[in-house]
Amino acid sequence: MTDSKYFTTTKKGEIFELKAELNSDKKEKKKEAVKKVIASMTVGKDVSALFPDVVNCMQTDNLELKKLVYLYLMNYAKSQPDMAIMAVNTFVKDCEDPNPLIRALAVRTMGCIRVDKITEYLCEPLRKCLKDEDPYVRKTAAVCVAKLHDINAQLVEDQGFLDTLKDLISDSNPMVVANAVAALSEIAESHPNSNLLDLNPQTINKLLTALNECTEWGQIFILDCLANYTPRDDRESQSICERVTPRLSHANSAVVLSAVKVLMKFMEMLPKDLDYYGTLLKKLAPPLVTLLSAEPELQYVALRNINLIVQRRPEILKHEMKVFFVKYNDPIYVKLEKLDIMIRLASQANIAQVLAELKEYATEVDVDFVRKAVRAIGRCAIKVEQSAERCVSTLLDLIQTKVNYVVQEAIVVIKDIFRKYPNKYESVIATLCENLDSLDEPEARAAMIWIVGEYAERIDNADELLESFLEGFHDESTQVQLQLLTAIVKLFLKKPTETQELVQQVLSLATQDSDNPDLRDRGYIYWRLLSTDPVAAKEVVLAEKPLISEETDLIEPTLLEELICHIGTLASVYHKPPSAFVEGSRGVQHKRLPGSAGSGESVDSPDPASAAGVTEAPPAVIPSQGDLLGDLLNLDLTPPTATGPPPAPSSGMQLGAMDLLGGGLDSLMGDESEPLGGDIGGSAAMGAGFGAAPAAMPASFNAPVSGGLDDLFDLGGSVGMPMGAYSPPKTVWLPAMKAKGLEISGTFARRAGVIQMEMTLTNKAMSVMTDFAIQFNRNSFGLAPAGPLQVLTPLSPNQSIEVSLPLSTVGPVMKMEPLTNLQVAVKNNIDVFYFSCQYPISMLFVEDGKMERQVFLATWKDIPNDNESQFQIKDCHLNSDAASNKLQGSNVFTIAKRTVEGQDMLYQSTKLTNGIWVLAELRVQAGNPNYTVSLKCRAPEVSQCVFQSYEAMLKN
Amino acid sequence: MIHSLFLVNASGDIFLEKHWKSVVSRSVCDYFFEAQERATEPENVPPVIPTPHHYLISVLRHRIYFVAVIQSEVPPLFVIEFLHRVVDTFQDYFGVCTEAAIKDNVVVVYELLEEMLDNGFPLATESNILKELIKPPTILRTMVNTITGLTNVGEQLPTGQLSVVPWRRTGVKYTNNEAYFDVVEEIDAIIDKSGSTITAEIQGVIDACVKLTGMPDLTLSFMNPRLLDDVSFHPCVRFKRWEAERILSFIPPDGNFRLLSYHVSSQNLVAIPVYVKHNITFREGSSQGRFDLTLGPKQTMGKAVESVLVSSQLPRGVLNANLNPSQGTYTFDPVTKLLSWDVGKINPQKLPSLKGTMSLQAGASKPDENPTINIQFKIQQMAISGLKVNRLDMYGEKYKPFKGIKYMTKAGKFQVRT
């Protein structure tokens, strides 16, 4: 007989019948009845009406019956809270049972009953169970604390359960340790700033000991916890790695991946010349390969993580290309991931193999996969220069197959190859043109049109080809229309005599018959350019294009670093930082890879402050496809105050034309209604309009605000003269190679209450740079340029200029990660460049940040203790007065000072530009170079930044 | 941690749900069903699906989707591993893991799930321990229970759970003490058109069935342990001893378990035990295609290649196949276009072949894709990697156990491109 019999009674009086059976005297009948109830429950039937009858069965010696009743209780107690109280007595009694299995079961079940009234009764039994003599009960109780915390966090804290839980980390039984760690980790997730898992070398040692002896699941919890620790030095790092490595041979893939995470993170601290470093690298490859022979779901997660690992440390898997070859019956999600990794691992050594495989894939059945395979061939060509020729011929072979989507995909990637290796493979254009008619996807059509326009001079019938597209102009997608417009203008500039009619046709189609503003704008720009000065037009439209590189599909380095710290998590599957998507994780702490010991990192910045924190993060170069880009592109690059182009008459027409593309177009567009058509070659009216632009420039430029160290601050205190605001040394924000020769290094300073962005612009290119403009993306504190970027003279090659840009804090606000991140776009006559930098938060400390003593006291008490965070500042050799002086220079005001047992306590207040107050207690002990700072703030997210500023200000 | 579990059958019905924390409405599975609809094949449903408030992590086994719901950041591998463990446990308990078996044993299933996970934390997943807590249903036991009123649930604390060897229960007694080890190797390979190996690797396991009284301490040594450079061990294996001496030293769990799995990578030379000669052609303009396939053994060290099964997904344009096997039987499904040929044993003197014609849709152009041929086979008494066990010794107990070792090689994903 099987359990299916429990499902068969579906007649009307079912509940009634069950009720009678539950109240039967016969044990056997009772148990059968409870089973029937449970079976109904599992398929979603409502049997809550039987609550009192089922609870009556709870007091029994029969363990199975008891468990079944518990199952029922967990499901329905929430909907019947008053009745659930009836069960409390039995629970409390069971917690005293001589059998540890019953004790554990009782405390476990009680924790699952999510009813407030019951949780009060749970505290005493739970406290006993946490100290139970039997480890099985203790480990069950540890998890129960997490359950209770989920229901009533305050209760758990008030009852001191968290401390008991912390004590359990030192328990003699490894399973208890593992569960305590798991419970604490879960609780810590909802309290990101609490130091629940206070990791120090002693606790780490305990965890590592428990790691060897606990179950596989416990190992995962412990390894994930270890990954949050930052070792003190490379020796500690190595010893942890040594003790974690055996986990790589575990049968459970989750254990393996968590171990990989710990190793990948701690490896950063090992010197690269160490023998052990090489050994470790070798040890990492086999377990990763093994993950790929597991079930497809496991493979998928493993592959997403391997994708990160090969970007960070390609050397680990460089010889393992073959394991990523696709089997034809792999699920599609595995195929696509494998393909991506194959490209990342592609190198000159293995490119022949990879290409042969990709070509094979391009003949498969699955369309998505085939497309991606064709694209992959293009990416290989761009990545491995030596292979480009072979890739192109492979693509041509594929075009010969005439399979429609293969041809289209191939044309899209060939366009990219042209952009990487100009003037090399144009011989294939003829073949491409043969397939013109079969292209029906916008992307492929746009790519083909681009090719025809770009190489119009080599295609005899380019005009005919483009004209054929023009016939259905209005039915094309915007992408194709824009491409077509540009291509025809290019064609005209190359062969002006034959194509005059064509260009007029497309311009009028774009400007008069189109509803799309982008298309219209582009049409007008070309029109005016052509009519004003064809020479300038040529320079603009046919300008040399930047080469594309394979870096575009790499993950941005800082994000990659963070993701490496999150290997094995959902973040690593989605390649997004955890803060971006996990619900309920308020202010997730950003994780960073630890810096390597003794590496040449600080060579270019000898200043100790740069290592200390403020400038710790190298400015990240934003890849062109980041989501930031969209944001920045939507901004009008030239702020309204700088509509006029700078006075640079020497550079003449070309500059004017450039400016037309950037800014003050609107003013010129007033006479939009009368088409300036036909007479290309410069109408007088147009010329005048054009010339008027410089005249419209604002008459007076504000003189750059002078840096004012000598500016007096409102001292208002008893502590001597301040020494001026701290400003970090300049760092390179935008390297020349990323910005076509423009190098920007800079820093931030606060002078006379004004935040200044101080930059050095260096022209490392061969041509003159002009027309600078700057714009910020939305940021945490609403920083925005208060005026235009003042570069008065054109910047000649090899010239540097110092610029000081005053900033206001009234711009649009958006929370950034990290908080003080600022994303900037700078434009010049060559292009628009994007970079991001971080400003020290001390720039935002305002001058009136001194709080009244009473207010300070009240506020300090008022802010909940949760918001307090404590930091250590090491090796600071100032006495308390000097420190106070130094901080005051940066608008950190000392309100009071107290001396207790030779320890000076400074109470300080600071106000940020957006009105956030930060209160601080700085403890300085004479003769001890280590300060302790406790920060309290209503917005605890800023604490970390403020602390970093403290450290930077004090050490400078 | 894991919030809830839904079991979904092939037709998209939720037939079981279990919640470990608060109840999550089953409507959350709608996101899963959407993904299921988008996927062309059942196995193409992505394993991780985001929804506005939850994440769904699923595995597909025995045509049942096991969908776990999680709410916070949880390692996905942890969830997937756990789900596989659930399936293994069901299979262990009920013999098969089907919708019918689960429904027939729904109360045991619930008891198991409750025992395996507490508030989303894994509690007891070792089969030895679970079986002490909850007895697997057997016809005999059900009858005995109904007569005597005993229950399926153990009254005692499972002793193993707290000892230093949590995987072994204490007080084990057998009249016949025996220890069997099976070395099973699966060969995964991709062979290209011309017959040369593109990639080949071996996934090996050593499965054990140990029924020994008391607390035996075993050591197992190999003739050629160098082959094993990429291994995953059962937690019972002492890792240090392996690192130092390349000897497997362990106190075994009671009953069946996987002692280790290993991987011989594509960088080592892997022997390929069979070869395929094929000629599958379509001619432009003709409505017929030729099909010609011959199998033969190679590098088998004289052992017979058995249970050979050839299958191939023919192009969509193929209407029917008219073939003539020299041995065995073949089927062609005109709907799925799956050709499968049950060959049986390969006789090296008379190689099996399958020849004939395929009919195509009249007037259709010749198919673009080339079919891939999938081959399954078994070779008894041989481990293709050459791995050999040297000896097995037992310490800690006085009796003399019966020992046995068996080798077998199977095809894993063995594919030949045409």
Best A64, A250, A367 residue to mutate vs chain B (most B CBs within 10 Å): A64
Half-sphere exposure of A18 (CA within 13 A, CB side): 31
Q: How many helices (H) and strands (E) does chain A have?
A: 40, 13
Contact of B76 with A304, CB cutoff 8 Å: no
In this complex, the residue of A42, A114, A136 whose CB is nearest that of residue B106 is: A42
For A95-151, how does the pLDDT look when each residue is reduced to its tens digit (9 = 90+)? 888 888 888 888 888 888 877 777 778 888 889 889 988 888 898 899 889 888 888
More confident residue, A662 or B206: B206
Name the residue among B311, B315, B298, B340 with its Cα closest to residue B196. Answer: B298
ω into residue A818 within 30 of 0, thus cis? yes
Interface contacts (A, B; CB < 8 Å)? 260
Q: What is the pLDDT at residue A13?
A: 67
pLDDT for res B148: 55
Residue A711 has pLDDT above 70, yes or no: no
- Considering only CB atoms, which chain B residues are within 8 Å of A366? 40
**Beta pairing class for A784-785 and A742-751:** unpaired
Residue of B54, B81, B132, B264 to mutate, testing the A interface (most A Cβ within 10 Å of its Cβ): B81
Q: Are A334 and A366 in contact (CB under 8 A)?
A: no
pLDDT at A713: 39
pLDDT tier at A171, thresholds 50, 70, 90: confident
Let me know: does A185 contact B78? Beta carbons within 8 Å: no
Element (H, E) at A920: strand A917-925
Q: Can you tell me the mean pLDDT for A301-308?
A: 94
The model's confidence at residue B301, banded by pLDDT at 50, 70 and 90, is confident
State whether A297 and B142 contact (CB < 8 Å): no
CB A374 within 8 A of CB A362: yes
Q: Which residues on B lie below 8 Å from A591 (Cβ)?
A: none
Which residue from B132, B131, B152 is spatially nearest to B141, judged by alpha carbons?
Answer: B152
- Residue A660 and residue A663: Cα distance in Å, rounded? 6
pLDDT of residue A730: 83
Confidence check: pLDDT of A624 > 70: no
Q: Rounded to an integer, what distance in angstroms lies between the CA atom of residue B150 and that of residue A713?
A: 87
Residues of B in contact with A573 (CB under 8 A): 48, 76
Residue of A nearest to B164 (CA): A213
Residue of A6, A136, A333 with shortest CB distance to B44: A333
Q: Could you tell me the CA-to-CA distances from B27 to A74, B30, B81, B215, B366 in Å, in that order?
A: 21, 5, 25, 50, 46
Residue of chain B whose alpha carbon sits nearest to that of A578: B73
Q: Which among B378, B371, B376, B382 is positioned nearest to B405, based on CA atoms?
A: B382
ipTM of predicted complex: 0.84
Query: According to the model, what pLDDT value does residue B47 have?
Result: 92
Which of B27, B119, B199 should we substitute to test contact with A (largest number of A Cβ atoms within 10 Å)?
Answer: B119
Question: Are the Cβ atoms of A143 and B119 closer than 8 angstroms?
Answer: yes
Contacts of A99 in chain B (CB under 8 A): 155, 157
- Residue B389 confidence (pLDDT): 92
pTM: 0.68
pLDDT exceeds cutoff 50 at A616: no
Q: How confident is the model at residue A600, as a pLDDT?
A: 39
CA B18 to chain CA centroid, nearest Å: 25
- Give A296's contacts in chain B (Cβ within 8 Å): 43, 47
Phi and psi (nearest 5°) for A11?
-80, 180
CA distances from B61 to A186, B13, B41, B98, B116 (A): 30, 15, 14, 9, 19
User: B108: nearest CA in chain A?
Assistant: A3
> Considering only alpha carbons, which residue of chain B is nearest residue A299?
B77
Nearest CB partner across the interface for B263, out of A2, A290, A302 = A290
User: Residue B232: which of A197, A744, A294, A601 has the closest Cα?
Assistant: A294
pLDDT at A621 over 60: no
CB B62 within 8 A of CB B98: yes
Q: Which of A835, A805, A784, A820 is nearest to A636 (CA)?
A: A784
Alpha helices, DSSP H only, in B5-105? 29-38, 76-94, 99-104
More confident residue, A189 or A149: A149
- A147 burial (CB, 10 Å; 0-12 / 13-18 / 19+) is buried
Cβ separation of B46 and A584 shorter than 8 Å? Answer: no
Q: Give A120-135 pLDDT, tens digit per residue.
A: 788 888 898 899 888 8
* Cβ within 8 Å of residue B69, ≥6 positions away: B2, B3, B4, B5, B6, B24, B28, B54, B55, B56
Handedness of CA A365, A371, A376, A382 (dihedral sign): positive
CB contact under 8 Å between A42 and B229, yes or no, is no
The Cα of A578 is separated from the nearest Cα of chain B by a number of Å equal to: 8
In Å, the largest CA–CA distance within chain B is: 79
Question: Between B57, B146, B265, which is nearest A289 by CB?
Answer: B265
Rounded Cα distance, B340 and B331, in Å: 5
Distance CA A410, CA A393 (A): 11
The two structure tokens encoding residue A636: 């009008």
- H/E stretch holding B19 reads strand B14-19
Sign of the alpha-carbon dihedral angle for A401, A405, A409, A415 = positive
CB atoms within 10 A of CB B336: 9
The confidence score (pLDDT) of residue B315 equals: 85
Residue of B nearest to A186 (CA): B1
The alpha-carbon gap from A466 to the nearest alpha carbon of chain B, in Å, equals 31
User: To the nearest whole angstrom, how far is the Cα of A781 from the nearest Cα of chain B?
Assistant: 29
Chain B residues whose CB is inside 8 A of the A371 CB are none
What is the Cα–Cα distance from B300 to A698, expressed in whole angstroms? Answer: 88
B22 with A111: Cβ contact below 8 A: no
Give the model's pLDDT for residue A6: 59
* pLDDT for res A626: 36
User: Are the beta carbons of B166 and A179 separated by less than 8 Å?
Assistant: no
The count of C-alpha atoms lying within 13 angstroms of the C-alpha of B56, restricted to the half-sphere facing its C-beta, is 29
pLDDT tens column, B311-367: 998 888 888 889 999 999 999 998 888 999 999 999 888 899 999 988 888 777 777
Please provide the DSSP assignment of A214-277 as one string: S-HHHHHHHHHHHTT---SSHHHHHHHHHHHGGGGGBS-HHHHHHHHHHHHHHHTTS-TT-HHH
| Position A36 pLDDT exceeds 90 | no
Specify the higher pLDDT residue, A780 or A264.
A264
Torsion (CA) A848, A849, A852, A858 in degrees, nearest 10: 140
Instruction: Report the alpha-carbon distance of residue B380 to residue A938 in Å, rounded.
Output: 72
B114–chain A nearest CA distance, Å: 8
Which of A332, A333, A331, A353 has the alpha carbon at shortest distance from A342?
A: A353
CA distance linking residue A88 with residue A82, whole number of Å: 11
Q: Which residues contact A40 (CB under 8 A, 6 or more apart)?
A: A6, A7, A14, A47
- Which stretches of B223-378 are DSSP H helices? 239-245
Q: Where are the beta strands (DSSP E) in B115-254?
A: 117-118, 121-122, 178-191, 197-211, 217-222, 231-233, 247-250
Question: How far is the C-alpha of A507 from the C-alpha of A145, rounded, in Å?
Answer: 72
β-partners of residue B65 are: B8, B60
Closest residue of B to A287, CA-based? B230
Position B253 pLDDT exceeds 50: yes
- Indicate if the pLDDT at residue A396 is higher than 80: yes
More confidently predicted of A57 and B178: B178
Question: Which residue from B57, B73, B110 is facing A569, i.e. has the nearest CB?
Answer: B73
Element (H, E) at A528: helix A517-532
CB contact under 8 A, A64 and B374: no
pLDDT at B287 over 60: yes
Q: For B137, name the nearest residue in chain A, comparing CA atoms only.
A: A2
Instruction: Note whether A322 contacts B75, CB cutoff 8 Å.
Output: no
Give residue A836's identity as a one-letter amino acid code. S
pLDDT tens-digit readout, A915-947: 888 888 888 887 777 888 888 888 888 888 888
pLDDT at A552: 62
DSSP helix/strand/coil, B269: coil
CB–CB of A287 and B369 under 8 A?
no
Question: Among A863, A748, A848, A753, which Cα is nearest to A803's?
Answer: A748
Averaged pLDDT score across all residues of chain A? 77
Per-residue pLDDT tens digits for A659-688: 333 333 333 343 433 333 333 333 333 333
Judged by CB atoms closer than 8 Å, whether chains meet at B46 and A173 is answered as: no
CB contact under 8 A, A65 and B43: no
Complete DSSP assignment for A720-733 = --------PPPEEE
Distance of alpha carbon A543 from alpha carbon A549, whole angstroms: 18
Contact between residue A914 and residue A781 where contact means Cβ atoms under 8 Å apart:
yes
Question: For A325, which of B151, B199, B265 is closest by C-beta distance?
Answer: B199
Instruction: Please name the residue of chain B whose CA is at the shortest distance from the CA of residue A370.
Output: B369
Query: What is the rounded average pLDDT of the residues A694-711?
Result: 38
pLDDT at B143: 55
User: Does residue A867 contact residue A934 with C-beta atoms inside 8 Å?
Assistant: no
Report yes or no: A614 and B84 within 8 Å, Cβ to Cβ. Answer: no
Q: Is A698's pLDDT higher than 50?
A: no
Decide if pLDDT at B68 tops 50.
Answer: yes
- For residue A269, the Cα-to-chain-centroid distance in whole angstroms is 23
Higher pLDDT, A11 or A895: A895
The model's confidence at residue A303, banded by pLDDT at 50, 70 and 90, is very high
Length of chain A: 956
Q: How far from chain centre, in Å, is Cα A941? A: 17
**Cβ–Cβ of A289/B230 closer than 8 Å?**
yes
